[in-house]
Structure formats: C-alpha cells, structure tokens
Amino acid sequence: MAMLTPGSTFPDIKLTLVGGARLSLPADISGSWAYIAFYRGGW
C-alpha cells in the first residue's frame, strides 16, 4: 500500500480491538478529522 499524502482518502480497514470489539475505519469515525495511533506492544 502506498503512503498516504495530503488529500488522500483513508483506506477502508477493519480492526479487532482488545476485548473483541470491531472497528471499521473510516466508517465508524464521526466528523472529518481523527487521530489514530497503532501500538504493536512491547516485543
């Protein structure tokens, strides 16, 4: 996947959160701005 640049559309992705809940991005985000941080854990 190519890096996002200003003006790019965020790709549709589905995530499974801790506890089993599901999150679809960007569909589940309200508004036009969101900050998303991914943490892979302490390996």
d(CA 16, CA 3): 22
Res 1: pLDDT = 67
Full DSSP string of 7-43: TPPPPPEEEEPTTS-EEEETTT--SS-----------
Contact in structure between 14 and 22 (CB atoms under 8 Å): yes
Res 21: pLDDT = 94
Contact in structure between 25 and 17 (CB atoms under 8 Å): no
HSE toward the beta carbon, residue 31, CA cutoff 13 A = 3
Q: Could you list the mean pLDDT of each consecutive 10-residue stretch along the chain, which spans 43 residues?
A: 84 90 91 82 74
Prediction pTM value: 0.57
